[in-house]
Chains A and B, each alone.
Chain A
Amino acid sequence: AQSVTQPDIHITVSEGASLELRCNYSYGATPYLFWYVQSPGQGLQLLLKYFSGDTLVQGIKGFEAEFKRSQSSFNLRKPSVHWSDAAEYFCAVGLILTGGGNKLTFGTGTQLKVEL
């Protein structure tokens, strides 16, 4: 069964500093990988996704993530964090179902705090 581990529950960075959020997955085949962001009391917004091809993927809001098969990782990065980036970030691995659709398994999330 697929699983996702986000080892950092909380991370605090200063505004303008760089950010890296870690994600490790367990999956038997080539994974479909996603990063979502959730603001308090809101739904999840898709930041970026990896299906195949270039292992460095660009997303919205200046985020990027790198797929490393050898390390089973899909870490999220941003070169310069803004105060508005404070939120909870979820990594997810997707299983494409033969009946249609995409079954996502989420990690437990990383809460990002940005210090001004």
Chain B
Amino acid sequence: EAEVAQSPRYKITEKSQAVAFWCDPISGHATLYWYRQILGQGPELLVQFQDESVVDDSQLPKDRFSAERLKGVDSTLKIQPAELGDSAMYLCASSPDRPYEQYFGPGTRLTVT
């Protein structure tokens, strides 16, 4: 069964350092999502791509976060500089054009010290 791949699974970084996460969606899925999940809360959408174009990045803190999906396949989410409040699980998901259900990867647990 096809799955969404994410790496790394865990990342510990110091405040003010740069960090990057990678996601490879299920083959053929045009839509890719990045979520942030703070402990004890539901996931919140950071950015959504349709192929290589950004559809929604209204909740992405653009002063420090960036995301790209250059060839419309895999994607990278970057934080620079990292802050203590960025400690969270970062989840990637993808969905086909229809029927729209999203499939999630295992996530990257980020700890900023």
Interface set of A (CB-CB < 8 Å, partner B): 4, 32, 34, 36, 41-46, 49, 51, 90, 92, 94, 96-97, 99-104, 106-109
Contact = CB atoms under 8 A, between A and B. Distances in A.
A41 B109 contact: yes
Given A32-B100, A100-B30, A106-B43, 9 more contacts: A41-B109, A49-B101, A90-B43, A101-B48, A101-B55, A103-B56, A104-B102, A107-B42, A108-B41
Nearest to A4: B42
Contacts of B91: 43-44
Contacts of A44: 43, 91, 93, 104
Contacts of B43: 44, 90, 104, 106
Contacts of A106: 42-44
Interface in B25-72: 30-31, 33, 40-45, 48, 50, 53, 55-56
A26 B100 CA distance: 20
The 6 closest A-B pairs by CB, nearest first: A106-B42, A101-B31, A102-B100, A100-B50, A43-B104, A44-B104
Contacts of B95: 101-102
B55 A100 contact: yes
A107 B109 CA distance: 20
A96 B42 CA distance: 19
The main secondary structure of chain A at its interface with chain B is: strand
Contact-size category for B: 20 to 34
A103 B48 contact: yes
Interface in B70-98: 91, 93, 95, 97
A15 B32 CA distance: 37
B44 to A, nearest CB: 7
Contacts of B103: 46
Residue from A36, A99, A101 having most chain B Cβ neighbours under 10 A: A101
Contacts of A34: 101
Contacts of A104: 33, 43, 45, 102
29 contacts: A34-B101, A41-B109, A42-B106, A43-B6, A43-B104, A43-B107, A44-B43, A44-B93, A44-B104, A46-B102, A51-B100, A90-B42, A92-B42, A97-B55, A97-B56, A99-B53, A100-B97, A101-B30, A101-B31, A101-B48, A101-B55, A101-B95, A102-B95, A102-B102, A103-B48, A104-B45, A107-B42, A108-B41, A109-B41
